[in-house]
Structure 1
């Protein structure tokens, strides 16, 4: 039998390589549609995830390892849907959730200023709606580059053949989207830092009236690493720093040193229900003897003052006539009417709704403690969605408008401190001119600086360069500048931040899932043919032997 097989193999070797018969099965088994080459490696930014006052918000998952599909593909179950910002709406996202999409990757243009306003508004609404629900699907964002554009086009082409398993589809290349992130975990050393400084008035500090100027520095958007917050609240930060610079000159001059204290606070955790402000108030009122805050005349919070021709003074309770806050309000009206008539100034009264989980404005933290306070903003309502959006970037702020608003605010505050109205000076009188003038270039430079990096609260650790820069700037203008840092309670934390907010995603070139089917069928057919050949080996032997016999006879003839 073995001799017969040897004769057959000798004959077979001449017309067909025996190596093919032996090694093809091994080759077919080794061939796999698993990732073989990374087409592109790029940074992705995960949707917000945090807990605030015991309530969970945002995206609860971080791991992605699944095939990519376009938004219009028919089969999205356990697929990573790749879409552009302009194509994603609230309704479409809900459809993705209903179809059990495994993950969503949103491609953002590298310059949002070129996106039509209607598309930006739709995306801002999407941000708001996503944060209002518990999202179990991993949602990532990436800034589109040339390579991502090609990958996106290839994914769209591949999804066009998604309706039927064809040989064309099996031969096509797809993409497997894989993140390097592990599952998100709570950040153990999370903390919030605020920075305060002051200008002491002429006389005994504790016996002088005090005005506090407050602005939170952190930002908020659908993805922390994309939250630059140019208007909310980069403009408020810049306004506070410029006011500190202007009034430091008045306080350094013995001739203009007023009998008024000025407190300045850059607060952290503003976008998380003003946690930094809350703790600062508690430390000053409950744990500190002789605090200037306990006798404060009023607190003025700055939030989004870099755009538009409207300014709104938001209060929880209308100030009584004759009060310090009412006097400042009248001075601000006087200055704006006389020097900036284009500005529409209005006081907005809104009671604090303690039934709401989140406060509307920062001044409400002070009003709860019965301290006179107000928030100045160009937004007429706290419900303006632009205050919490990654679309709040540098192009949303007009440096000229910001400079104008700072000037009006500085003039009104100076008039209040020096009681100029009672002394007969009208609103057209300009205090900040010549050597005391504002520096528009400096204001724009500060705006560029604070918007050059994301300032989400999760990202601002104790060693962050932003804190060092702000502290150094305030030290140049103010006295007794110091940081105030607090961590959440371990038993009942006020807030919890999570890791894996930025990671790397790999787009691998792979064969589509239907390739497995074609490969399995091919292997099965091949092995079936080999099996049949072995079982019927004697027929094959007789056939080959007969052919060989005929060849020999013909040769002899």
Structure 2
């Protein structure tokens, strides 16, 4: 068949040039015309946070994306999807895309965060709050790097970078001939999630010796936070705090099992939800216990509330307080016991108290203990961070693969807290020096393997408040784990007020994106111009066929031989 076709075309070339011209040019145009868009790569993308808190919108407002890809090096970014790699990311480049009204921004993250230089990781962690501080109209997505996505980025970068060094004609030609990528999301526009419930879990160990016993409350919030909810694993903040709380509940449940070590203190353990959203779970829990019930451990004699936050690393421990404890109070005793235990057993650790007053004018409270302080309950937060402004507390970089959690240091810090609490509960301050008696040893010692397993479980899934609903397996597992050691384990739910919601969450936080290999729009324009020119030439040729034919005959007719 192909041999016959080639003979036909060969005869056309030899016999009639006009016929060849009319047939051959349309065939060429058809062959070079762009094929239907072809999917180059399909991958998962994770959208930036979108939420409202106290009526103030944060994060990106859009989720739909259907625009051509460019890198930030391109001169024109308007209505383009700007692709950046984390290694090349900067806030100035991000702002450039926003100022030029880009259609979207996609930030490519490395597969292995631990391979990234720590200065780049730290820089991005510090930029995350700035990215979320204001409302962003365009959709912002994050994607995990793979070979295909890296190839798309490289091709787009080459195309974007070369345009700045070419002449106008070269840019036009390059734009018309180069392949591009159309980035398209498969999901719908984001909308508010109605009736979302933030879940918290509590359990207790009842003391012995009477009904009106003092109560010690141990608190840790479980939810994580970062610029993208589906990438927020919160290994140190606050997976370490929850791990320590569960280990403390295990240790003291053993002590409370035996009559000889059953103390005259109630222990109340509370794992709160919505901690990253101004501690909404703790706020509602306090309201339910202090305002809407007649029987609650919080209404009786509360010795103090100890909040655990970000304790998985470092060689420093800070006790953050809103009001310095007075001498002779249980909270002062805990402060002194922490100092004594650290000084006698772990001299390499630096322990100090940090005093910061509650600023009710701020949109966000600094630490969880401030929620209790507002209700006049003595409370403080223990952390290895010196300030609540640390970028590590709200970052997608806080993952298990990056050495943010050192299990050996988490185990050490857990033992410090356990020893100090036990010395307060059993009134050992003036009886036995910490160096002479260690309570949690041998069979009662802190289990590093157990802590490590809990951290691994906590960091196996993102725990952003928008992703953990009341029916999630995470909440069920947490409730089961607490139920192994504590009594009266139950859940507490928080739903936003419908008329004046304290918080609003939005959906479409994870989508599938397709990168389609396409020709640019200017290619279609130039192709249309070529076709129009061809048709115009054909029209003129037909109108003046006699003249054209005579010219062609004169050119193609062989010359007569001269005798």
Q: Which of the five TM-score ranges fits, normalised by the shorter chain? A: over 0.9
Distance 1:428 1:385, change over 3 A: farther
Aligned residue in 1 for 2:439: 431
1:371 aligns with 2:372: no
Give the alignment partner of residue 521 of structure 1, picking from 515, 529, 534: 529
2:355 is the alignment partner of 1:354: no
SS at match of 1:81: strand
In structure 2, what is the equivalent of residue 5 of structure 1?
A: none
**Pairwise mapping of residues 87-486 of structure 1 onto structure 2 (< 5 A)?**
87-163=88-164, 164=168, 165-204=171-210, 206-295=211-300, 296-394=302-400, 395-486=403-494
Shift of 1:442: 1.0
- Aligned Cα root-mean-square deviation (Å): 2.4
Quick check: 2:60–2:139 contact (8 Å CA) kept in 1? yes
Q: Which stretches in structure 1 are left out of the alignment for 5+ residues?
A: 1-9
Q: CA deviation at 1:73?
A: 1.4
C-alpha separation between the residues in 2 aligned to 1:475 and 1:125?
Answer: 38
Task: Return 34-43 or 431-440, whichever deviates more.
Answer: 34-43
Deviation at 1:424, TM superposition (A): 3.5
Partner of 1:38: 39
Deviates most, 250-259 or 21-30:
21-30
SS of the counterpart of 2:376?
coil
- Kept in 1, the 8 Å contact 2:195–2:496? The answer is no
> 2-side partners of 1:386 and 1:280: how far apart?
26
Q: Deviations over 1:296-315 (max 9, x none)?
A: 11110000001111111111
Distance in 1, matches of 2:436 and 2:360, equals 41
Could you give the per-residue CA deviations for residues 466-521 of structure 1, whole angstroms, max 9, x where no partner exists? 10111110010100111111211111111000111110111111113332343122
- 2:68 maps to 67
Higher mean C-alpha displacement, 530-539 vs 149-158: 530-539
- Secondary structure of the structure 2 residue equivalent to 1:353: coil
TM value normalised by structure 1: 0.92
Distance in structure 2 (CA, Å) of the matches to 1:522 and 1:80? 30
Pair 1:225–1:20, CA change in 2 (3 A): farther
Q: What's the secondary structure of 1:160's corresponding residue? A: helix
**Higher deviation after alignment, 161-170 or 392-401:** 161-170
Residues 339, 427 of structure 1: 8 Å contact kept = yes
Q: How many residue pairs are counted as aligned between the two chains?
A: 544
Look up the SS of the partner of 2:466 in the other structure.
Answer: helix
How many Å separate the matches in 2 of 1:11 and 1:405?
Answer: 89
Partner Cα distance (1:299, 1:404) in 2:
21
C-alpha contact (below 8 Å) 1:124/1:389 kept by paired residues: yes
The correspondence of residues 2-13 of structure 1 with structure 2, limited to 5 A, is: none
Deviations 1:422-459 (A, max 9, x none): 33444441101111111111111111110111100000
The alignment partner of 2:162 has SS state of coil
Conserved in 2, the CA contact under 8 Å of 1:301 and 1:363? yes
What secondary structure sits across from 1:403 in the alignment?
Answer: helix
Would the alpha carbon gap of residues 20 and 321 (structure 1) be closer, same or farther in structure 2, given more than 3 Å must change? Answer: farther
C-alpha spacing 1:246/1:528, structure 2 compared with 1 (3 Å) = same
Q: Deviations over 1:291-345 (max 9, x none)?
A: 0011211110000001111111111111111111111111111111111111111
Q: Are the equivalent residues in 1 in contact too, given 2:41–2:148 (CA < 8 A)?
A: yes
Say whether the 8 Å CA contact 1:225–1:502 is kept in structure 2: yes
Residues 214-241 of structure 1: CA deviation (Å, up to 9, x unaligned): 0000011000000010010000010000
Could you report, residue by residue, the CA deviation over 1:31-58 in whole angstroms, capped at 9, with x for unpaired residues?
A: 7658621110000111111000111011
Identify which range, 436-445 or 538-547, moves more after superposition: 538-547
Distance 1:281 1:146, change over 3 A: same
Contact 1:475 1:481 in 2 (8 A): yes
Give the aligned partner of residue 6 of structure 1. none
Deviation at 1:88, TM superposition (A): 1.3
**Match in the other structure for 2:5:** none
> Structure 2, unaligned stretches of length 5 or more?
1-10
